[in-house]
Structure 1
């Protein structure tokens, strides 16, 4: 099952010259963390205004895959 996911940050006035760079960094950070957590999604789009940064993640999996780990240690 999938769903759309919106992350939005409201802030004080951001400098217009660095707005695109901040938008790209926010998008990159969100997508890298989702990939690191092995959460599948189809697309991520970023939006920005001088007072907001947002990322819309489309078709985000609502569950994560089950991982099984075998850890060897001393007997208890």
Structure 2
């Protein structure tokens, strides 16, 4: 899945990740598909890899997400 243009209108320095979430248990499955230790920095500006990137659903999901609505992609961004 490719995110070609993320429009960050109000950058705030923080951390971010994209993960697969099991909607029944509200828990992350596996490790993040993409993560940033510094995201949308106000000191260094937003980097290109933060607004244009790809993620792939991992094979390890097996059939956990085979039913519609069983899983979602979560884009988590925490900034202070």
Max Rg structure: 1
What TM-score do you get using the length of structure 2 for normalisation? 0.31
Where is the helix percentage greater, Structure 1 or Structure 2? 1
Task: Tell me the TM-score normalized by structure 1.
Answer: 0.32
